[in-house]
Chains A and B, each alone.
Chain A
Amino acid sequence: MLIPHPLLGARDAQEFTYLGDASLMDRPDPNGPEAEAAFCDYVFLRDNPAGVHRELWFHEQGDRSWLVVTRDTVTHEILGAELARDVKRGAQT
Protein backbone atom coordinates (compact mmCIF):
# COMPACT_ATOMS: atom_id res chain seq x y z
CA MET A 1 0.00 0.00 0.00
CA LEU A 2 1.13 3.53 -0.75
CA ILE A 3 0.05 6.26 1.64
CA PRO A 4 -0.31 9.75 0.10
CA HIS A 5 1.55 11.74 2.75
CA PRO A 6 0.36 15.38 2.60
CA LEU A 7 3.95 16.70 2.82
CA LEU A 8 6.09 13.93 1.35
CA GLY A 9 3.92 12.42 -1.37
CA ALA A 10 3.29 8.70 -1.85
CA ARG A 11 5.15 6.68 0.78
CA ASP A 12 5.30 2.90 1.26
CA ALA A 13 3.03 1.79 4.13
CA GLN A 14 6.02 -0.21 5.42
CA GLU A 15 7.51 3.08 6.68
CA PHE A 16 4.52 3.52 8.98
CA THR A 17 3.33 1.99 12.23
CA TYR A 18 -0.39 1.38 12.61
CA LEU A 19 -2.23 2.45 15.74
CA GLY A 20 -5.96 2.10 15.02
CA ASP A 21 -9.25 3.97 14.71
CA ALA A 22 -8.83 7.76 14.44
CA SER A 23 -11.39 8.16 17.23
CA LEU A 24 -8.43 7.45 19.55
CA MET A 25 -7.63 11.17 19.12
CA ASP A 26 -10.84 12.05 20.96
CA ARG A 27 -9.71 11.29 24.49
CA PRO A 28 -12.53 11.73 27.02
CA ASP A 29 -12.33 14.37 29.72
CA PRO A 30 -10.90 12.62 32.80
CA ASN A 31 -12.75 15.11 35.02
CA GLY A 32 -16.05 14.83 33.18
CA PRO A 33 -19.13 13.02 34.44
CA GLU A 34 -19.07 9.25 33.90
CA ALA A 35 -15.36 9.54 33.08
CA GLU A 36 -14.64 5.92 34.00
CA ALA A 37 -17.30 4.54 31.65
CA ALA A 38 -16.22 6.95 28.93
CA PHE A 39 -12.61 5.78 29.23
CA CYS A 40 -13.65 2.09 29.10
CA ASP A 41 -15.45 2.77 25.84
CA TYR A 42 -12.53 4.83 24.54
CA VAL A 43 -9.88 2.22 25.36
CA PHE A 44 -11.70 -1.01 24.54
CA LEU A 45 -14.63 -0.53 22.13
CA ARG A 46 -14.32 -0.02 18.37
CA ASP A 47 -16.73 0.50 15.47
CA ASN A 48 -14.56 -1.84 13.36
CA PRO A 49 -16.41 -1.11 10.09
CA ALA A 50 -16.22 -3.18 6.91
CA GLY A 51 -15.70 -0.34 4.44
CA VAL A 52 -14.41 3.19 4.88
CA HIS A 53 -12.27 3.53 8.02
CA ARG A 54 -10.40 6.56 9.35
CA GLU A 55 -7.27 5.42 11.14
CA LEU A 56 -4.02 6.61 12.67
CA TRP A 57 -0.69 5.79 11.05
CA PHE A 58 2.65 7.00 12.46
CA HIS A 59 5.41 7.78 9.94
CA GLU A 60 8.02 6.14 12.14
CA GLN A 61 10.66 5.65 9.49
CA GLY A 62 9.96 8.99 7.86
CA ASP A 63 9.17 12.41 9.24
CA ARG A 64 7.61 10.95 12.43
CA SER A 65 4.30 12.68 11.82
CA TRP A 66 0.93 11.16 12.70
CA LEU A 67 -1.50 10.83 9.80
CA VAL A 68 -5.22 10.21 9.65
CA VAL A 69 -5.57 7.85 6.69
CA THR A 70 -8.96 7.09 5.15
CA ARG A 71 -8.93 3.55 3.83
CA ASP A 72 -11.42 0.93 2.72
CA THR A 73 -11.00 -2.16 4.91
CA VAL A 74 -12.66 -4.38 2.31
CA THR A 75 -10.50 -3.43 -0.67
CA HIS A 76 -7.44 -1.86 1.07
CA GLU A 77 -7.89 1.16 -1.23
CA ILE A 78 -6.52 4.34 0.34
CA LEU A 79 -8.87 7.26 -0.15
CA GLY A 80 -6.87 10.04 1.47
CA ALA A 81 -4.44 11.11 4.18
CA GLU A 82 -4.24 14.19 6.38
CA LEU A 83 -1.87 15.32 9.09
CA ALA A 84 -3.44 14.33 12.41
CA ARG A 85 -2.62 17.74 13.88
CA ASP A 86 -4.64 19.42 11.10
CA VAL A 87 -7.57 17.09 11.79
CA LYS A 88 -7.35 17.89 15.49
CA ARG A 89 -7.12 21.63 14.84
CA GLY A 90 -10.07 21.43 12.42
CA ALA A 91 -12.15 19.68 15.07
CA GLN A 92 -11.36 22.38 17.62
CA THR A 93 -12.18 25.42 15.49
Chain B
Amino acid sequence: MTFSGLRVVKEALTGHKGWKPLWRNPEPKPSYDVVVVGGGGHGLATAYTLAATYGITNVAVLEKGWLGSGNIGRNTTIIRSNYLLPGNQPFYEFSMKLWERQEQDLNFNSMVSQRGIINLFHTDGQRDAYRRRGNAMHLSGADGRLLTREELREKVPFLNFDNARFPIKGGLMQSRAGTARHDGVAWGYARAADMRGVDIIQNCEVTGFRMEGGRVTGVETTRGTIGAGKVGVAVAGSSSRVMAMAGMRLPIESHVLQAFVSEGLKPTIPGVVTFGAGHFYVSQSDKGGLVFGGDLDGYNSYAQRGGLPTVEDVIEGGMALMPMIGRARLLRSWGGIMDMSMDGSPIIDRTHIDGLYFNGGWCYGGFKATPASGYAFAHLLATDTPHETARAYRFDRFTRGHVIDEKGVGAQPNLH
Protein backbone atom coordinates (compact mmCIF):
# COMPACT_ATOMS: atom_id res chain seq x y z
CA MET B 1 0.00 0.00 0.00
CA THR B 2 1.74 3.13 -1.18
CA PHE B 3 0.66 6.66 -0.44
CA SER B 4 0.07 9.11 -3.27
CA GLY B 5 -2.00 12.18 -3.97
CA LEU B 6 -4.20 10.12 -6.27
CA ARG B 7 -4.91 7.64 -3.52
CA VAL B 8 -5.82 10.36 -1.04
CA VAL B 9 -8.37 11.73 -3.53
CA LYS B 10 -9.74 8.22 -4.22
CA GLU B 11 -10.14 7.46 -0.52
CA ALA B 12 -11.77 10.84 0.08
CA LEU B 13 -14.38 10.02 -2.57
CA THR B 14 -15.05 6.50 -1.24
CA GLY B 15 -15.50 7.25 2.44
CA HIS B 16 -11.93 6.39 3.54
CA LYS B 17 -12.84 2.70 3.69
CA GLY B 18 -9.75 1.42 1.87
CA TRP B 19 -7.08 2.38 4.45
CA LYS B 20 -5.46 -0.57 6.18
CA PRO B 21 -3.22 -0.81 9.27
CA LEU B 22 0.30 0.40 8.47
CA TRP B 23 1.96 -2.77 9.73
CA ARG B 24 1.04 -6.36 10.61
CA ASN B 25 0.88 -7.67 14.17
CA PRO B 26 2.58 -11.06 13.71
CA GLU B 27 3.24 -13.82 16.20
CA PRO B 28 6.98 -14.24 16.82
CA LYS B 29 8.70 -16.94 14.75
CA PRO B 30 11.00 -19.43 16.55
CA SER B 31 14.09 -17.63 15.28
CA TYR B 32 15.39 -14.80 13.11
CA ASP B 33 18.68 -13.85 11.47
CA VAL B 34 18.67 -10.60 13.43
CA VAL B 35 16.62 -9.60 16.47
CA VAL B 36 16.50 -5.89 17.23
CA VAL B 37 15.54 -5.14 20.83
CA GLY B 38 13.63 -1.88 21.09
CA GLY B 39 10.80 -0.69 18.83
CA GLY B 40 11.59 2.98 19.00
CA GLY B 41 12.98 5.22 16.31
CA HIS B 42 16.48 3.77 16.34
CA GLY B 43 15.39 0.14 16.46
CA LEU B 44 12.84 0.58 13.67
CA ALA B 45 15.30 2.56 11.54
CA THR B 46 17.82 -0.25 12.08
CA ALA B 47 15.36 -2.91 10.95
CA TYR B 48 14.31 -0.82 7.96
CA THR B 49 17.92 -0.29 6.85
CA LEU B 50 18.78 -3.97 7.35
CA ALA B 51 15.97 -4.89 4.98
CA ALA B 52 16.12 -2.01 2.51
CA THR B 53 19.88 -1.50 2.18
CA TYR B 54 21.54 -4.71 3.34
CA GLY B 55 18.94 -7.22 2.09
CA ILE B 56 18.48 -8.89 5.49
CA THR B 57 14.73 -9.34 5.85
CA ASN B 58 14.46 -12.21 8.36
CA VAL B 59 14.41 -9.64 11.15
CA ALA B 60 12.26 -9.06 14.23
CA VAL B 61 11.89 -5.88 16.25
CA LEU B 62 10.87 -6.59 19.86
CA GLU B 63 9.13 -3.79 21.75
CA LYS B 64 8.13 -4.13 25.40
CA GLY B 65 5.24 -1.66 25.13
CA TRP B 66 3.56 -0.31 22.05
CA LEU B 67 5.49 0.85 19.03
CA GLY B 68 7.09 4.23 19.57
CA SER B 69 6.14 4.45 23.25
CA GLY B 70 9.61 5.47 24.40
CA ASN B 71 11.68 8.51 23.60
CA ILE B 72 10.59 8.71 19.94
CA GLY B 73 7.23 9.78 21.38
CA ARG B 74 8.62 12.07 24.07
CA ASN B 75 11.11 14.41 22.41
CA THR B 76 11.06 17.96 21.06
CA THR B 77 11.42 16.86 17.39
CA ILE B 78 14.48 18.92 16.47
CA ILE B 79 16.78 17.79 13.66
CA ARG B 80 20.15 19.49 13.10
CA SER B 81 23.80 18.82 12.33
CA ASN B 82 25.62 21.60 14.16
CA TYR B 83 28.23 19.71 16.16
CA LEU B 84 31.88 20.59 16.61
CA LEU B 85 34.01 17.49 17.04
CA PRO B 86 35.25 15.30 14.17
CA GLY B 87 33.89 12.12 15.83
CA ASN B 88 30.37 13.60 15.83
CA GLN B 89 29.77 16.12 13.07
CA PRO B 90 30.15 13.86 9.98
CA PHE B 91 27.71 11.39 11.58
CA TYR B 92 25.09 14.04 12.28
CA GLU B 93 25.51 15.53 8.80
CA PHE B 94 24.97 12.05 7.35
CA SER B 95 21.80 11.91 9.45
CA MET B 96 20.71 15.32 8.13
CA LYS B 97 21.12 14.09 4.55
CA LEU B 98 19.02 11.02 5.37
CA TRP B 99 16.33 13.27 6.87
CA GLU B 100 16.27 15.27 3.64
CA ARG B 101 15.30 12.19 1.61
CA GLN B 102 13.40 10.31 4.31
CA GLU B 103 9.87 10.95 3.05
CA GLN B 104 10.79 9.69 -0.42
CA ASP B 105 12.71 6.70 0.99
CA LEU B 106 9.85 5.65 3.26
CA ASN B 107 6.94 6.83 1.09
CA PHE B 108 5.55 8.38 4.27
CA ASN B 109 4.93 11.97 5.32
CA SER B 110 7.14 12.44 8.37
CA MET B 111 6.68 16.22 8.02
CA VAL B 112 10.38 17.03 7.82
CA SER B 113 10.42 20.82 7.94
CA GLN B 114 13.74 22.57 7.39
CA ARG B 115 12.83 25.78 9.14
CA GLY B 116 16.30 26.44 10.53
CA ILE B 117 17.94 26.59 13.94
CA ILE B 118 19.57 29.60 15.57
CA ASN B 119 22.00 29.22 18.50
CA LEU B 120 22.26 32.59 20.22
CA PHE B 121 25.49 34.08 21.57
CA HIS B 122 26.01 36.86 24.05
CA THR B 123 29.74 37.58 24.28
CA ASP B 124 32.77 37.92 22.00
CA GLY B 125 34.07 34.62 23.36
CA GLN B 126 30.89 32.81 22.44
CA ARG B 127 30.92 34.42 18.99
CA ASP B 128 34.41 33.01 18.42
CA ALA B 129 33.33 29.58 19.67
CA TYR B 130 30.33 29.55 17.33
CA ARG B 131 32.45 30.75 14.41
CA ARG B 132 34.74 27.80 15.06
CA ARG B 133 31.76 25.46 15.26
CA GLY B 134 30.38 26.88 12.01
CA ASN B 135 33.72 26.19 10.33
CA ALA B 136 33.69 22.61 11.67
CA MET B 137 30.18 22.22 10.21
CA HIS B 138 31.42 23.45 6.81
CA LEU B 139 34.26 20.92 6.92
CA SER B 140 31.69 18.10 7.10
CA GLY B 141 29.71 19.57 4.21
CA ALA B 142 26.97 21.07 6.38
CA ASP B 143 25.71 24.63 6.15
CA GLY B 144 26.10 27.26 8.82
CA ARG B 145 26.19 31.03 8.97
CA LEU B 146 26.80 33.66 11.64
CA LEU B 147 23.91 36.09 11.92
CA THR B 148 24.47 39.65 13.03
CA ARG B 149 22.28 41.27 15.62
CA GLU B 150 20.48 43.19 12.85
CA GLU B 151 19.75 40.02 10.85
CA LEU B 152 18.45 38.40 14.04
CA ARG B 153 16.18 41.37 14.73
CA GLU B 154 14.58 40.79 11.36
CA LYS B 155 14.10 37.02 11.83
CA VAL B 156 13.14 36.88 15.49
CA PRO B 157 12.14 40.40 16.55
CA PHE B 158 10.38 39.20 19.70
CA LEU B 159 13.60 38.27 21.54
CA ASN B 160 14.76 40.36 24.47
CA PHE B 161 17.91 41.69 22.77
CA ASP B 162 18.92 43.96 25.63
CA ASN B 163 18.69 41.52 28.53
CA ALA B 164 21.01 42.94 31.19
CA ARG B 165 22.80 39.66 31.90
CA PHE B 166 22.77 38.04 28.44
CA PRO B 167 22.37 40.73 25.75
CA ILE B 168 21.97 39.02 22.38
CA LYS B 169 24.92 39.74 20.08
CA GLY B 170 24.09 37.35 17.25
CA GLY B 171 23.60 33.71 16.43
CA LEU B 172 24.84 30.71 14.50
CA MET B 173 22.20 29.59 12.03
CA GLN B 174 21.87 26.27 10.25
CA SER B 175 19.15 26.73 7.63
CA ARG B 176 18.84 23.02 6.78
CA ALA B 177 18.02 22.14 10.39
CA GLY B 178 14.43 22.08 11.58
CA THR B 179 11.84 19.69 12.95
CA ALA B 180 10.07 16.46 11.99
CA ARG B 181 6.88 14.78 13.15
CA HIS B 182 8.32 12.42 15.76
CA ASP B 183 5.52 9.82 15.84
CA GLY B 184 5.36 9.94 12.06
CA VAL B 185 9.03 8.99 11.94
CA ALA B 186 8.36 5.86 14.01
CA TRP B 187 5.28 4.94 11.98
CA GLY B 188 7.07 5.58 8.69
CA TYR B 189 10.00 3.35 9.58
CA ALA B 190 7.68 0.67 11.01
CA ARG B 191 5.55 0.57 7.89
CA ALA B 192 8.53 0.57 5.52
CA ALA B 193 10.25 -2.20 7.51
CA ASP B 194 7.06 -4.25 7.73
CA MET B 195 6.50 -3.96 3.97
CA ARG B 196 9.95 -5.48 3.46
CA GLY B 197 9.19 -8.49 5.66
CA VAL B 198 10.37 -7.36 9.11
CA ASP B 199 8.23 -8.69 12.00
CA ILE B 200 7.38 -5.96 14.50
CA ILE B 201 6.39 -7.65 17.75
CA GLN B 202 4.84 -5.38 20.35
CA ASN B 203 4.16 -6.09 24.02
CA CYS B 204 7.17 -8.38 24.00
CA GLU B 205 9.68 -7.55 26.73
CA VAL B 206 13.13 -9.08 26.65
CA THR B 207 13.83 -10.73 30.01
CA GLY B 208 17.20 -12.32 29.29
CA PHE B 209 19.75 -13.36 26.72
CA ARG B 210 20.44 -16.96 25.70
CA MET B 211 24.15 -17.70 25.48
CA GLU B 212 26.08 -20.74 24.29
CA GLY B 213 29.84 -20.82 24.51
CA GLY B 214 30.22 -17.07 24.90
CA ARG B 215 27.91 -16.41 21.98
CA VAL B 216 24.39 -15.05 22.05
CA THR B 217 21.89 -17.42 20.43
CA GLY B 218 18.62 -15.72 21.23
CA VAL B 219 16.54 -13.80 23.72
CA GLU B 220 14.09 -14.80 26.43
CA THR B 221 10.94 -12.71 26.23
CA THR B 222 7.53 -12.40 27.83
CA ARG B 223 6.24 -14.10 24.67
CA GLY B 224 8.66 -17.02 24.76
CA THR B 225 12.17 -17.75 23.60
CA ILE B 226 13.21 -16.31 20.25
CA GLY B 227 16.37 -17.55 18.57
CA ALA B 228 18.66 -15.09 16.83
CA GLY B 229 21.81 -15.14 14.74
CA LYS B 230 22.58 -11.66 15.99
CA VAL B 231 20.96 -9.44 18.60
CA GLY B 232 21.08 -5.64 18.36
CA VAL B 233 20.01 -3.68 21.43
CA ALA B 234 18.65 -0.16 20.84
CA VAL B 235 16.76 0.72 24.02
CA ALA B 236 18.12 4.15 25.01
CA GLY B 237 16.78 5.08 28.44
CA SER B 238 16.87 1.44 29.55
CA SER B 239 20.29 0.48 28.19
CA SER B 240 21.88 -0.25 31.57
CA ARG B 241 18.96 -2.45 32.62
CA VAL B 242 18.94 -4.50 29.43
CA MET B 243 22.70 -4.89 29.12
CA ALA B 244 22.94 -5.88 32.79
CA MET B 245 21.10 -9.05 31.73
CA ALA B 246 24.17 -9.80 29.63
CA GLY B 247 26.41 -9.05 32.60
CA MET B 248 27.62 -5.70 31.28
CA ARG B 249 28.10 -2.39 33.09
CA LEU B 250 27.88 0.63 30.81
CA PRO B 251 29.42 4.12 30.84
CA ILE B 252 25.88 5.47 31.17
CA GLU B 253 23.59 7.03 33.79
CA SER B 254 19.84 7.38 33.22
CA HIS B 255 18.52 10.90 33.75
CA VAL B 256 15.15 12.60 33.29
CA LEU B 257 14.75 15.48 30.84
CA GLN B 258 11.53 17.47 30.81
CA ALA B 259 9.79 19.12 27.88
CA PHE B 260 6.80 21.40 27.56
CA VAL B 261 4.19 22.51 25.06
CA SER B 262 1.93 25.56 25.18
CA GLU B 263 -1.60 25.95 23.85
CA GLY B 264 -1.81 26.35 20.07
CA LEU B 265 -0.93 29.83 18.84
CA LYS B 266 -0.77 31.53 15.44
CA PRO B 267 2.60 31.19 13.68
CA THR B 268 5.07 33.26 15.64
CA ILE B 269 8.45 31.47 15.84
CA PRO B 270 10.02 30.84 12.43
CA GLY B 271 12.40 28.03 13.40
CA VAL B 272 14.22 26.65 16.39
CA VAL B 273 15.90 29.11 18.79
CA THR B 274 18.32 27.97 21.47
CA PHE B 275 19.40 30.04 24.47
CA GLY B 276 22.17 27.91 25.93
CA ALA B 277 23.20 30.52 28.47
CA GLY B 278 19.70 30.44 29.93
CA HIS B 279 18.95 26.70 29.63
CA PHE B 280 16.09 27.18 27.17
CA TYR B 281 15.23 26.26 23.60
CA VAL B 282 11.98 26.62 21.69
CA SER B 283 10.26 25.91 18.39
CA GLN B 284 6.66 25.97 17.24
CA SER B 285 4.86 22.85 16.12
CA ASP B 286 2.69 22.70 13.02
CA LYS B 287 -0.32 22.63 15.34
CA GLY B 288 0.86 25.96 16.79
CA GLY B 289 2.06 24.88 20.22
CA LEU B 290 5.32 26.32 21.47
CA VAL B 291 7.51 23.28 22.14
CA PHE B 292 10.30 24.03 24.59
CA GLY B 293 12.69 22.58 27.09
CA GLY B 294 15.87 23.12 29.03
CA ASP B 295 18.30 21.15 31.16
CA LEU B 296 18.16 17.79 32.89
CA ASP B 297 16.78 17.60 36.40
CA GLY B 298 20.26 16.34 37.20
CA TYR B 299 19.86 13.16 39.25
CA ASN B 300 19.58 9.50 38.21
CA SER B 301 16.01 8.70 37.33
CA TYR B 302 13.86 6.14 35.55
CA ALA B 303 10.62 7.93 36.45
CA GLN B 304 9.65 9.66 33.14
CA ARG B 305 8.67 12.71 35.17
CA GLY B 306 10.70 15.49 36.74
CA GLY B 307 10.38 18.05 39.50
CA LEU B 308 8.96 21.55 39.67
CA PRO B 309 12.30 23.35 40.29
CA THR B 310 13.36 22.45 36.74
CA VAL B 311 10.01 23.60 35.38
CA GLU B 312 10.61 26.94 37.05
CA ASP B 313 14.18 27.15 35.71
CA VAL B 314 13.11 26.44 32.12
CA ILE B 315 10.25 28.93 32.22
CA GLU B 316 12.48 31.60 33.75
CA GLY B 317 14.83 31.04 30.81
CA GLY B 318 11.90 31.45 28.44
CA MET B 319 10.74 34.66 30.12
CA ALA B 320 14.27 36.08 29.97
CA LEU B 321 14.65 35.29 26.28
CA MET B 322 11.19 36.09 24.94
CA PRO B 323 8.94 37.80 27.48
CA MET B 324 5.91 37.33 25.20
CA ILE B 325 5.89 33.65 26.20
CA GLY B 326 4.39 34.79 29.51
CA ARG B 327 1.09 35.36 27.71
CA ALA B 328 0.86 31.75 26.57
CA ARG B 329 -0.65 29.03 28.73
CA LEU B 330 1.18 25.76 29.30
CA LEU B 331 -0.74 22.83 27.87
CA ARG B 332 1.34 19.97 29.23
CA SER B 333 4.79 18.88 30.33
CA TRP B 334 6.41 15.47 30.43
CA GLY B 335 9.69 13.73 31.07
CA GLY B 336 11.76 11.21 29.17
CA ILE B 337 14.62 9.03 30.33
CA MET B 338 17.97 9.77 28.72
CA ASP B 339 20.97 7.47 28.40
CA MET B 340 23.51 10.06 29.61
CA SER B 341 26.92 8.78 28.60
CA MET B 342 30.20 9.70 30.25
CA ASP B 343 31.32 12.00 27.43
CA GLY B 344 27.95 13.11 26.08
CA SER B 345 28.31 11.08 22.87
CA PRO B 346 26.68 7.81 21.79
CA ILE B 347 27.93 4.24 21.41
CA ILE B 348 27.29 2.01 18.36
CA ASP B 349 29.50 -1.03 18.76
CA ARG B 350 29.96 -4.73 19.16
CA THR B 351 30.19 -6.07 22.70
CA HIS B 352 32.63 -8.61 24.13
CA ILE B 353 29.89 -11.22 23.60
CA ASP B 354 29.79 -12.64 20.05
CA GLY B 355 26.58 -11.79 18.25
CA LEU B 356 25.51 -9.09 20.73
CA TYR B 357 25.59 -5.49 19.50
CA PHE B 358 24.76 -2.27 21.30
CA ASN B 359 23.37 1.10 20.27
CA GLY B 360 22.75 3.69 23.01
CA GLY B 361 24.09 6.54 25.08
CA TRP B 362 22.29 9.14 22.97
CA CYS B 363 21.95 11.63 25.84
CA TYR B 364 19.24 14.10 24.82
CA GLY B 365 20.23 14.12 21.14
CA GLY B 366 18.79 10.84 19.95
CA PHE B 367 15.92 12.04 17.80
CA LYS B 368 17.98 13.90 15.21
CA ALA B 369 20.25 10.88 14.95
CA THR B 370 17.45 8.40 14.21
CA PRO B 371 18.10 7.79 10.48
CA ALA B 372 21.90 7.64 10.73
CA SER B 373 21.81 5.63 13.95
CA GLY B 374 19.62 3.04 12.25
CA TYR B 375 21.84 3.09 9.19
CA ALA B 376 25.11 2.75 11.10
CA PHE B 377 23.72 0.06 13.41
CA ALA B 378 22.35 -1.92 10.46
CA HIS B 379 25.74 -1.58 8.74
CA LEU B 380 27.47 -2.91 11.85
CA LEU B 381 25.00 -5.80 12.23
CA ALA B 382 25.23 -6.72 8.56
CA THR B 383 28.96 -6.34 7.95
CA ASP B 384 30.57 -6.52 11.41
CA THR B 385 32.44 -3.31 10.59
CA PRO B 386 31.54 0.17 11.80
CA HIS B 387 29.90 2.57 9.37
CA GLU B 388 32.40 5.18 8.21
CA THR B 389 30.58 8.01 10.02
CA ALA B 390 30.27 6.06 13.30
CA ARG B 391 33.81 4.77 13.74
CA ALA B 392 34.42 6.88 16.83
CA TYR B 393 31.37 5.53 18.72
CA ARG B 394 33.22 2.64 20.33
CA PHE B 395 33.00 1.25 23.84
CA ASP B 396 36.78 1.30 24.24
CA ARG B 397 37.13 5.02 23.58
CA PHE B 398 36.87 5.60 27.33
CA THR B 399 39.73 3.28 28.24
CA ARG B 400 41.81 4.52 25.30
CA GLY B 401 41.26 8.14 26.30
CA HIS B 402 39.58 9.04 22.98
CA VAL B 403 36.40 10.47 24.47
CA ILE B 404 34.14 12.69 22.33
CA ASP B 405 33.29 15.39 24.83
CA GLU B 406 31.55 18.29 23.01
CA LYS B 407 31.11 20.29 26.20
CA GLY B 408 34.41 19.40 27.82
CA VAL B 409 32.98 18.61 31.25
CA GLY B 410 34.46 15.14 31.76
CA ALA B 411 32.84 12.01 33.12
CA GLN B 412 29.94 13.85 34.77
CA PRO B 413 26.81 12.78 32.86
CA ASN B 414 24.40 15.31 34.38
CA LEU B 415 26.48 18.19 32.98
CA HIS B 416 26.59 17.08 29.33
Taking beta carbons and an 8 Å cutoff, which residues of A are in contact with B? 1, 13-14, 18-21, 37, 40-41, 43-50, 53, 55, 71, 73-76
Contact = CB atoms under 8 A, between A and B. Distances in A.
9 contacts: A14-B309, A18-B298, A18-B414, A21-B300, A43-B342, A48-B252, A48-B253, A48-B300, A74-B302
Nearest to B240: A48
A13 B307 CA distance: 10
Given A14-B309, A18-B414, A44 B299 contact: no
A50 to B, nearest CB: 4
B250 interface: yes
B394 to A, nearest CB: 13
B256 to A, nearest CB: 9
A47 B398 CA distance: 16
Top 9 nearest A-B pairs by Cβ distance? A48-B240, A44-B251, A50-B302, A44-B398, A45-B249, A40-B399, A18-B299, A44-B342, A73-B300
B251 A55 contact: no
A55 B299 contact: yes
B303 A75 contact: yes
Interface in B384-404: 398-399
B253 A20 contact: yes
For A14, A47, A50, which residue has the most chain B Cβ atoms within 10 angstroms?
A50
A75 B305 CA distance: 9
B196 to A, nearest CB: 34
Contact of A46 (B241, B250, B303, B309): B250
Interface core residue of B238, B300, B301, B309 (most chain A CB under 10 Å): B300
B348 to A, nearest CB: 17
A61 to B, nearest CB: 13
B250 A73 contact: no
A73 B307 contact: no
Given A20-B413, A73-B254, A47 B249 contact: yes
User: Counting chain A CB atoms within 10 Å of each CB, which of B250, B252, B253, B254 scores highest?
Assistant: B253
Nearest to B301: A73
Contacts of B147: none
A68 B73 CA distance: 35
Contact of A55 (B240, B300, B398, B399): B300
B411 interface: yes
B126 interface: no
Given A18-B414, A40-B398, A76-B307, 8 more contacts: A1-B307, A18-B298, A20-B414, A44-B398, A44-B399, A49-B240, A73-B303, A75-B303
Contacts of A21: 253, 300
A48 B398 contact: no
Contacts of A75: 303
